[in-house]
Copies of this chain bind each other. A is one copy, B any other.
């Protein structure tokens, strides 16, 4: 069983990659799902402010990795599962500890300029309205260690050339997670011994 944790900066095209998984019938868990359920269970309205308040309240009570730990508990014995929305190094470390080699971290990357182009077109009300605002928000996102997650991703999907190219890359990863590293001849095994190349 493999668990593919999907990450990326806002506007990189992560949600299109998630769609590919869903169309292939692969279960997708969104990191916000558990928070959303708890907000509902408490009888609050599901909006940004309540989601944030409940998420942060639990983090203060049970530690910054609480949502990752609860997500791990949820993972069923499906042959492949996609987790969407991981944004901190701490969360990935929980997954790594619990899942070991079954974890594959995949990142969707696009340049700030390309992401700005997409965000400008989709026009969600809480999106940045200038390029400078996007750059500022990027630095906010990166404060929790998202940059380290991206820098050490197992798979990098480059999304500069339109949906078709991204979808093809994502399909390939889902059909054979971590295939490029595993196929590389002469790569030493993770314990330091050499494979036959």
Contact = CB atoms under 8 A, between A and B. Distances in A.
Interface of A: 9, 109, 111-114, 116-117, 120-121, 129-131, 135, 138-139, 142, 145-156, 158, 160-161, 178, 180-182, 184, 186-188, 190-192, 194
B153 A142 contact: no
Contact of A121 (B148, B149, B186): B186
Of the listed residues A111, A120, A151, A182, the one surrounded by the most CB atoms of chain B closer than 10 A to its CB is A151
A188 B120 contact: yes
Contacts of A194: 120
Contacts of A120: 187-188, 192, 194
28 contacts: A9-B151, A109-B109, A109-B153, A111-B153, A111-B178, A112-B152, A112-B154, A113-B182, A113-B190, A114-B180, A114-B181, A114-B187, A116-B187, A116-B188, A117-B186, A117-B187, A117-B188, A120-B194, A121-B188, A130-B192, A131-B190, A138-B151, A142-B147, A147-B147, A147-B149, A147-B151, A160-B184, A161-B180
